Chain A
Amino acid sequence: MNLPTSLRFLRNGLFALSVAFAATVATAAPSPIFDAHLHYSHDAWEQLPPKAAIAILRKAGLVAAMVSSSSDDGTQKLYKEAPDLVIPVLRPYRTRGELSTWVNDPSIITHLEARLKANKYAALGEYHVYGADADLPVMRRVVELARDNKLYLHSHSDADAIERQFKQDPQARILWAHSGFDAPEKVREMLRKYKNLWCDLAFRSDHAQSGKVEPGWRAAFLEFPDRFMVGSDTFTPERWHFVVEHANWSRQWLADLPKDVAERIAYKNGVTLFSGMVKR
Chain B
Amino acid sequence: MPDFITEWLNQNDIFTALTIMEYWNGLVTTVHLVFLSLIIGLIVAVPLAILRTVKNPFVSGPIWLYTYLFRGTPLLIQLYIIYYGVAQIPGIQETFWWEIFKEPLYPALLAFTLNTAAYTTEIIRGSILSTPNGEIEAAKAYGMNWFLRMRRIILPSAARRAVQAYSNEVIFMLHASAIASVVTIVDLTGAARNIYSRFYAPFDAFIFVALLYLALTFILVFAFRKLENHLLRHQRPASS
Is B one of A's binding partners?
no
Chain B residues within CB distance 8 Å of chain A:
none
